[in-house]
Every structure is written in structure tokens, then in C-alpha cells.
């Protein structure tokens, strides 16, 4: 192998730059040149790329200054995009043609990006390995994706800050967090930030039931003899009712029993996606990159590297915490996570049910 391409695609995630740096270093150490494709599959179709390795005076390969200095930055130095043309066979054929000058491709991204990677391998025989990166943690066959830990740290910090002001005014807050259709960030943050309840799509509650939970949580939290100074409810983006409406309806319901109670709403939005990657994201990203370059070198294709011990299946790597999984299996499990048929979702729901009373104490 002489030259590989690498791209970041879909919603950016903190740790993408760490993965770019680590993949470039691992490849350079093995005499492989790395070329970065700009703005995901868009840049591939537009022919926009730049080398991430340079020749040293001694004739070896080293990462460019840009790659070397960006590992601790959020976002992606290559840029990222969701490419509509790649949903069409013609767009993918064009992309495969552009990849002919490379011996392999590493795709760093989420569900849509890995679907594109699988199509490149299946339809055109492109040698491709995926690295999971998405704050949503909605990908199958991996316990975590790049960006999840940083996003959770950001949410917990934001909740701590909101709790300060909430306690000062004895208020209740609903904090909405990103995650698209996945409630993982909401559930995990509710536990870690000391939330009183978590509202997420996978629960299947309708609007009336959500208002009921919110009102009951606030009423219980502010019972006269409890001395509680704040109520914090985490809401997932995937819950299809705006925070403001939930708050207004819960407030109306509490008017008689808890007059004067104030419930406020904060939507964290894209704030959660930025920032410097945490230690865990940097470590996971670096180890994924090692496994991805090694897999390409070994002739593997149509796979994703995963944060999952070999005990649960997958192809073992030199790293005991990283396994490789066929992209077909990853995408099937991702679909099952979304439609709720995955055992992982069932286990998450059971855990949250078991924790519901504890959270509200
Ligand atoms: O998939 C990552 C994510 O941040 C989701 O949590 C969110 O729903 C979506 O991307 C937002 O996308 P955009 O940045 O295009 O608004």
C-alpha cells in the first residue's frame, strides 16, 4: 500500500481531528502517504483534497504541521458535509472513479457516511474501512463512537451551571440535548448530571404522557417537606414535542396545586457538538485509527472498527478493546437501534425504568 485517502463526513464530532492525526502517523510510520478529502464525499466528487503527510529531508514520511497541531481541536480540519449526490448511484460511481488513485479509503462518520462507505465497497469494490464518529451514539456494534464522551461532558457541565441558577430561584428546568432519533445522550446525562427524569423517544410516550411525567416530577421535587431547590428534566431532541410546549402545558397543570412554580426550558443545540475532545475521545479515536490503517494494510474492506471487546463477536485486533465488524452488520444493528428491536435498546429501557424512581428521589 502506497497511498490512502481519508475523510470526515456527516455531523462533526470532537475527536475527528485526533483520528486524522493518529491515522496519518500510523500510516506514515509504515511508509504510506495519506491524502485528506475535504468536506466528506462532497470534496471527493469535486476533486478537493490535500496531502496530510509530507516527505522529510531524510526521505521518510511525516504528518503536515496542520495535522500535527490539530489533534486537540473540535470540529474537523478537513471539513465535513452530508452529500446528497452520494445517495444516487451516479454520484457513487463518480466517487469510486475519483478513488482509483488510492489504495484504500478511511471514512470517519456516522450512519449516513458509513452507508456511503458500504455502497462504495459493494458496488465498486473500493477498499474501505469505517471509523464510527457521531455524538448521537446511534451506531450498531460499538459501545461508543468518537465524540460521545465529549458531548456528555459538555451536557453535564451545562446542567451543573443551569442547576446553580435553578437552585437560586427554586426553579425547574427542562434541558433539551441533541442526539437526533437516539435518546442515549439524554439518558446518560440524566444519570450523570443528577437529573430528576429523562424524556426520550424510545420510551414511546405521547405528548400527554410526557406532560404528565414532567408535571409529576416537578410536583414531587418541590413537595414542601423535601427541601429540594431545583428540578432538572433532560429531554432528547428525538422527542417530537417542543420544550416550550411541554413546559407551558406542565405549568398549566400545576397552577392550582403548585401556584407560582416556575419551569424554564433550555435547548443546548449545537453547543454540545463543539469543543476540545475529552481524554476518552482522544484515546478511542487514536486506537480506532491504528486499527483502521492496520485493517486496510491487511487487505480488509467493507468493515468498521468498533469499541467492543472480542468477547461479543467481531474480528479481533491487536487492541483488546477494538474489534472489526462487517459494515452490513453494523448498519443492520444501527437500524434495529432506531426501530427499537435491538436488545441494546431493550436493555437501555429496562435500565432507565429501574433508575426512574431513584432519579426522582
Ligand atoms: O448527528 C449529529 C447531530 O448533531 C444530531 O444530534 C443532530 O440532530 C444533527 O446532527 C444536527 O444536524 P445539523 O448540524 O445539520 O443541524
Q: How many angstroms is it from 81 CA to the middle of ligand 1? A: 11
Q: Which three cell numbers stand for residue 336?
A: 434495529
Listed residue (189, 185, 180) closest to 240, CA to CA: 180
Q: Are residues 5 and 105 in contact, defined by beta-carbon separation less than 8 angstroms?
A: yes
Order across the sheet with 231-236: list the strands: 197-199, 231-236, 172-177, 263-267
Question: Which pLDDT does position 361 carry in this prediction?
Answer: 86
Work out which ligand 1 atom sits closest to the CA atom of 273: 4
Question: Catalytic pick from 12, 49, 136, 196?
Answer: 136
Residues within a 6 A CB radius of ligand 1: 11, 110, 134-136, 178-180, 237, 273
Helix (H, G, I), strand (E, B) or coil at 56: coil
Atom 2 of ligand 1, residue of closest alpha carbon:
11
Q: Are residues 215 and 233 in contact, defined by beta-carbon separation less than 8 angstroms?
A: no
Region 219-229: mean pLDDT is: 92
Region 1-29: mean pLDDT is: 98
* Residue 151, pLDDT above cutoff 90: yes
Question: Which pLDDT does position 360 carry in this prediction?
Answer: 87
Q: Is 136 a catalytic residue?
A: yes
Region 227-243: mean pLDDT is: 97
Question: Which pLDDT does position 165 carry in this prediction?
Answer: 98
**Does the predicted model carry a pTM greater than 0.95?**
yes
Listed residue (243, 154, 180, 140) closest to 10, CA to CA: 180
pLDDT over 70, % of the chain: 100
Question: Which pLDDT does position 91 carry in this prediction?
Answer: 97
Q: How many angstroms is it from 174 CA to the middle of ligand 1? A: 20
* Residue 311, pLDDT above cutoff 90: no
Interval 43-60: pLDDT, tens: 999 999 999 999 999 999
CA distance 190 to 199: 9
Interval 237-258: pLDDT, tens: 999 999 999 999 999 999 999 9
pLDDT over 90, % of the chain: 96
Work out which ligand 1 atom sits closest to the CA atom of 135: 2
Q: How many angstroms is it from 193 CA to the middle of ligand 1? A: 22
Work out which ligand 1 atom sits closest to the CA atom of 179: 6
Interval 93-145: pLDDT, tens: 999 999 999 999 999 999 999 999 999 999 999 999 999 999 999 999 999 99
Amino acid at each position: 500500500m502506497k497511498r490512502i485517502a481519508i475523510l470526515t463526513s456527516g455531523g462533526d464530532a470532537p475527536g475527528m481531528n485526533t483520528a486524522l492525526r493518529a491515522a496519518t502517523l500510523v500510516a506514515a510510520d509504515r511508509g504510506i502517504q495519506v491524502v485528506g478529502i475535504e468536506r466528506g464525499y462532497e470534496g471527493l466528487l469535486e476533486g478537493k483534497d490535500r496531502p496530510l503527510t509530507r516527505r522529510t529531508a531524510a526521505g521518510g514520511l511525516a504528518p503536515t504541521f496542520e495535522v500535527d497541531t490539530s489533534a486537540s481541536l473540535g470540529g474537523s480540519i478537513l471539513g465535513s458535509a452530508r452529500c446528497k449526490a452520494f445517495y444516487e448511484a451516479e454520484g457513487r460511481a463518480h466517487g469510486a472513479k475519483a478513488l482509483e488513485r488510492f489504495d484504500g479509503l478511511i471514512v470517519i462518520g456516522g450512519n449516513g457516511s458509513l452507508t456511503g462507505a458500504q455502497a462504495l465497497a459493494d458496488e465498486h469494490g473500493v477498499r474501505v474501512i469505517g471509523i464510527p464518529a457521531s455524538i448521537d451514539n446511534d451506531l450498531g456494534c460499538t459501545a461508543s463512537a468518537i465524540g460521545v464522551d465529549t458531548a456528555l461532558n459538555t451536557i453535564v457541565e451545562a446542567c451543573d451551571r443551569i442547576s446553580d441558577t435553578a437552585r437560586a430561584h427554586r426553579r425547574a428546568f427542562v434541558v433539551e440535548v441533541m442526539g437526533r432519533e437516539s435518546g442515549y445522550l439524554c439518558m446518560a446525562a440524566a444519570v450523570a448530571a443528577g437529573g430528576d427524569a429523562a424524556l426520550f423517544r424510545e420510551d414511546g410516550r405521547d405528548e400527554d404522557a410526557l406532560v404528565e411525567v414532567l408535571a409529576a416530577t416537578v410536583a414531587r421535587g418541590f413537595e414542601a417537606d423535601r427541601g429540594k431547590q431545583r428540578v432538572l428534566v433532560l429531554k432528547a431532541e428525538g422527542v417530537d414535542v417542543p420544550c416550550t410546549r411541554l413546559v407551558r402545558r406542565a405549568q398549566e397543570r400545576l397552577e392550582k396545586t403548585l401556584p407560582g412554580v416556575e419551569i424554564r426550558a433550555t435547548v443546548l443545540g449545537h453547543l454540545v457538538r463543539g469543543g476540545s475532545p475529552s481524554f476518552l475521545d482522544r484515546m478511542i479515536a487514536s486506537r480506532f485509527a491504528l486499527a483502521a490503517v492496520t485493517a486496510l494494510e491487511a487487505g480488509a474492506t467493507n468493515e468498521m472498527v468498533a469499541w467492543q471487546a472480542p468477547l461479543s463477536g467481531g474480528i479481533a485486533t491487536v487492541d483488546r478493546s477494538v474489534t472489526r465488524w462487517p459494515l452490513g452488520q453494523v448498519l443492520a444493528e444501527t437500524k434495529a437501534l432506531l426501530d427499537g428491536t435491538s436488545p441494546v435498546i431493550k436493555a437501555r429501557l429496562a435500565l432507565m425504568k429501574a433508575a426512574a424512581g431513584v432519579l426522582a428521589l
